[in-house]
Amino acid sequence: MRSQADVGTDADEAVYLYGFVSDSGAASGLPPALPAVDPERPLGLYRHAGLIALVSPVRRTDFDGDDGAANLADIGWVGPRALRHQAVLDAALAEAAVYPLPFGTLFSSPAALAAEMELRRDDIGAALARLAGCAEWAVQGELDRDAALDALVRDAIVAGDWTPPAAPGRRHLEEQRLRRELDAELDNWAEAAAATLADALAAASRGHAQRRIPAGQTLAFNWAFLVPTDGLDDFHAAIDTTGPVLAGHGLRVVCKGPWPGYSFVAAAS
Is 269 part of a structural domain of the chain? no
SS3 category, 157: helix
- Is the pLDDT score of 269 beyond 50? no
Whole-angstrom distance, CA of residue 81 vs CA of residue 58: 11
Which of 132, 157, 179 is the last residue in one of the domains?
132
Q: Is residue 84 part of a domain?
A: yes
Mean of pLDDT values over 206-216: 89
Do 124 and 140 lie in one domain? The reply is no
Q: In this predicted structure, what is the pLDDT of residue 28? A: 54
- Whether 124 and 9 share a structural domain: yes
pTM as predicted: 0.84
Mean pLDDT for 223-228 is: 96
Distance separating alpha carbons of residues 116 and 28, to the nearest angstrom? 25
Q: Do 122 and 53 belong together in one domain? A: yes
Is 148 among the domain residues? Answer: yes
Report the number of distinct structural domains present in the chain. 2
For residue 139, name the pLDDT band (cuts at 50, 70, 90). Answer: very high
pLDDT of residue 9: 57
Chosen domain end from 109, 132, 155 = 132
Q: Indicate if 108 and 223 belong to the same structural domain.
A: no
In a shared domain, residues 146 and 257? yes
pLDDT of residue 27: 54
Do 128 and 175 reside in the same domain of the chain? no
The model's confidence at residue 218, banded by pLDDT at 50, 70 and 90, is confident
Kindly give, in sequence order, each residue whose CB lies less than 8 Å from that of residue 257, ignoring residues fewer than 6 positions away: 135, 136, 137, 138, 227
Q: Are residues 104 and 219 in the same domain?
A: no
Q: Are 92 and 143 members of one domain?
A: no
pLDDT at 62: 96
Is pLDDT above 60 for 25? no
Mean pLDDT of the chain: 90
78 and 184 together in one domain:
no
pLDDT attached to residue 33: 66
Q: Which of 171, 189, 179, 172 is nearest to 149 (CA)?
A: 179
Return the closest-CA partner of residue 194 out of 214, 219, 218: 219
Segments forming the whole domain that contains residue 15: 4-132
Q: What are phi and psi of 135, to 5 degrees?
A: -140, 155
With contact defined as beta carbons under 8 Å apart, do 192 and 249 qualify?
A: no
Is 204 inside a domain boundary? Answer: yes
Whether the pLDDT of residue 2 is over 90: the answer is no
Give the residue, 215 or 45, on which the prediction is more confident. Answer: 45
Same domain, 92 and 18: yes
Asked whether residue 140 falls in the same domain as residue 227, the answer is: yes
In a domain, 162, yes or no: yes
- What pLDDT sits at residue 217? 80
Same domain, 27 and 59: yes
Within a domain: 140: yes
The domain boundary residue, chosen from 99, 132, 165: 132
